Amino acid sequence: MKKVLVLGAAGMAGHMICEYLKTFTEKYKIYKICHNIKLDSESILLDIFDLDLLDTTIRMINPDVIINSIGILNKNAEDNPSKTIFINSYFPRYLEKKFKNTNVKLIHLSTDCVFSGDTGNYSETSETDGKDIYARTKILGEINNNKDLTVRTSIIGPELKNNGTGLFHWFMKQTNSIKGYSKVIWSGVTTLQLAKSLHDMIESNLTGLYNLAANKPISKYELLKIINVVFEKNIIIEDCKENYNNKSLISIRSDFPVNLPTYTEMIMELRDCMLKNKQLYEQYFCK
pLDDT digits (tens, 9 = 90+) for 68-93: 999 998 888 888 899 999 999 999 99
The confidence score (pLDDT) of residue 287 equals 59
Q: For the segment 114-169, what is each residue's pLDDT rounded down to a tens digit? A: 999 999 999 999 999 999 999 999 999 999 999 999 999 999 999 999 999 999 99
Inform me whether the pLDDT recorded for 286 exceeds 80: no
Rounded Cα distance between 228 and 275, Å, is: 16
The confidence score (pLDDT) of residue 22 equals 96
Rounded Cα distance between 95 and 117, Å, is: 29
Q: For the segment 175-198, what is each residue's pLDDT rounded down to a tens digit? A: 989 999 999 999 999 999 999 999
Rounded Cα distance between 8 and 23, Å, is: 19
- 65-68 and 237-240 strand pairing: unpaired
Written in H, E and C, the secondary structure of 112-134 is HHHCCCCCCCECCCCCCCCCCHH
Longest CA–CA span in the chain (Å) reads 55
Domain ranges, ordered by start, for the chain: 2-285
pLDDT, average across residues 227-232:
97
Rounded Cα distance between 287 and 279, Å, is: 15
pLDDT, average across residues 200-208:
98
The confidence score (pLDDT) of residue 36 equals 86
Please report, for residues 10, 158, 175, 187, 273, the alpha-carbon distance to residue 284 in angstroms, rounded to integers and kept in the order given. Answer: 17, 8, 12, 24, 13
Inform me whether the pLDDT recorded for 257 exceeds 90: no
CATH topology classification for 2-285: Rossmann fold (3.40.50)
